[in-house]
Amino acid sequence: MKLSELKTMTQKIPDLQGEQLQQWLREYLTEIGMDPNAIYQELEMTSRYVDTHRDTSYVNAQLQLHSHTFFELLYCINDCGAEYLVGSERYRIQKGDIIFVPPGISHRPLLPEGMQEPYRRYVLWLSPEFMKQYASLFPYAFTDKQQKASMLRTAGTPWESLGDLFRNGVKEAEQQADGWEAAVIGNTMQLLTQIKRATDAQTARPLKVEQPELLDRITRYVEEHYFQPITIDELSKQFYVSNSTISHLFKQRMGVSFHRYVLQRRLIDAKTRIENGQRLEEVAAQTGFSDYSGFYRSFKHQFGISPRQYRSMQENDA
């Protein structure tokens, strides 16, 4: 589903706002055969180059582990006590933090229970084609280092004004005045240049990974072994905790079962492998599925289409 289609869908019900709107959206997506918990995995770009919008989340379970075929740049608008999981590394985020996630990298926010306010952010999606052209024009601005996931804290630094650039791009996209697409692209190029300067400057403050907890040790283990059989029994012996401790931990912090988390991680890798042209039977075998039929059922249940249909979509887009 393209982002523009989702916006059109929600604009048809102007009387609903906030949590009520998100609940209606979950019910509607379920009715049309889509998994509402996988919506961030399934969303596609509308523009060929740059999409930007603002997003708000109220419930942890709606934000499951996912990845994208494009680059994602996030700016945290407020302090709500959220954390962010990128791969197997967890960061505590606050207002003014910038999160950069390249294609194919698993990520998700972790929202605390009893939040006083929802998790709000500006979102910028950049197509690989746009980033390739940007790098060809300005090689200094998009090095190998910038192609890796990164976190940057701007609060209390000379780079706090970067939030204005995120906001300007979103306003252009929302108002859609004449030439707004060009304005968004120009604003994005300025933003990327400033982020590169902030990253290189000594006054910039990259976020530090949180001290490892049990959750971090388990997610790192999954990251390193998801292509192999993994059970809670095995993990309970590995980390000297009970099965119920692991189950409760994932339900409380991730909003999903441990089995569901491992499945999500496998399917994220599967989509990336399909996009890279790997044979479907090899994809199933190399992402931890015991047979192709199990992979097929899991993929179709999660994404609403078969692995072969997904491959055809990627080939058509190309």
> Rounded mean pLDDT of 104-109?
92
pLDDT tens-digit readout, 54-85 = 999 887 766 788 899 999 999 999 999 999 99
CA distances from 132 to 69, 125, 157, 277 (A): 14, 14, 30, 20
Residue 292 CB contacts under 8 Å (≥ 6 apart), including other chains:
280, 281, 284
Find, among 159, 149, 57, the residue nearest to 107 by Cα.
Answer: 149
Q: What is the DSSP string of 131-196?
A: HHHHHHH-GGGS-GGGGS-EEEE-TTSTTTTHHHHHHHHHHHHHH--TTHHHHHHHHHHHHHHHHH
Can you list the positions of beta strands (E) in the chain? 50-57, 71-76, 83-86, 89-92, 97-101, 107-110, 119-126, 150-153, 205-206
Q: According to the model, what pLDDT value does residue 11 have?
A: 54
What integer best gives the mean pLDDT of the chain? 86
Q: According to the model, what pLDDT value does residue 255 have?
A: 86
pLDDT tens-digit readout, 226-260 = 999 999 999 999 999 999 999 999 998 988 899 99
List the domains of the chain with CATH numbers: 3-206 (2.60.120.280), 214-317 (1.10.10.60)
Residue matched to tokens 């982020």: 195
Contact assessment for residue 268 and residue 65, using Cβ atoms and an 8 Å cutoff: yes
How far apart are alpha carbons 160 and 168 in whole angstroms? 14
> Which structure tokens are listed for 296?
């097929």
Of 7-21, 78-92, 178-192, 282-296, least confident by mean pLDDT is: 7-21
How far apart are alpha carbons 257 and 249 in whole angstroms? 9
Burial 134-157 (b: 16+ CB within 10 A, else e): beeeeeebbeeebeeebbbbbeeb
pLDDT tens-digit readout, 171-230 = 999 999 999 999 999 999 999 999 988 888 877 778 889 889 999 999 999 999 999 999
Q: What are phi and psi of 282, to 5 degrees?
A: -70, -40
Is residue 86 classed as helix, strand or coil in its secondary structure?
strand
Contact assessment for residue 222 and residue 265, using Cβ atoms and an 8 Å cutoff: yes
